[in-house]
Amino acid sequence: MSNIAHIVGVDPGLVHTGVVVLSFLPGAHEIHVDHEAVAGPNGSAVMKWIDSLDLDGDPVIFIEGYRPRSNLNTDKRMVEAVAEIKKATGGDVLLNYGVKKVVKQHLMELLGVWKFSTPTHHDDLRSAARIAVLGMLKDDELNALVTSVVRSHLQGRTWDVHR
């Protein structure tokens, strides 16, 4: 993959919706990371912020899914939030079962998405980044891109991360 790839992760939340964009520039061995904490579960605000970045080409968008747990009032609101964000962005919804066992801290640090300067209610930006990486790992072409970043790092040619 030689073209720029823009990968978006979205973690819907009732207080904050975390949005993280990873832009991979394979030719330059660079990753550019942008992030935003949107107030509440606002799909149009998420898409407006993504559009404001004026990305070259269409981004691939992954949204963290939500599974109802205890018939709580928040369950219904969260299911609706995920649906709204999916409708607004056209992204793919992924459940995060076992995501912390698959997308480990070291990989997130390598990609520049472990720590963020913007505080959120439930570490929403890290969750958004983690769902973006999970989506990449599940896609053959994007998995090859992650593999390229890791392989370069292991060979002593770590990609530059710009925030």
**Amino acid 75: pLDDT:** 86
Pure H helices in 16-123? 43-52, 73-89, 99-102, 105-110
Helix (H, G, I), strand (E, B) or coil at 72: coil
Quick: pLDDT tens for 92-150.
999 988 899 999 999 999 999 999 988 887 789 999 999 999 999 999 999 999 999 99
Q: Is the pLDDT of residue 2 over 60?
A: no
Strand 30-39: give its sheet, edge to edge: 92-94, 60-64, 5-11, 16-25, 30-39, 160-162
For the chain, list the domains and their CATH numbers.
Answer: 5-158 (3.30.420.10)
Encoded tokens for 96: 């995060």
**pLDDT-based confidence at residue 1 (cuts at 50, 70, 90):** very low
Quick: pLDDT tens for 3-18.
899 999 999 999 999 9
Rounded distance, CA 18 to CA 123, Å? 8
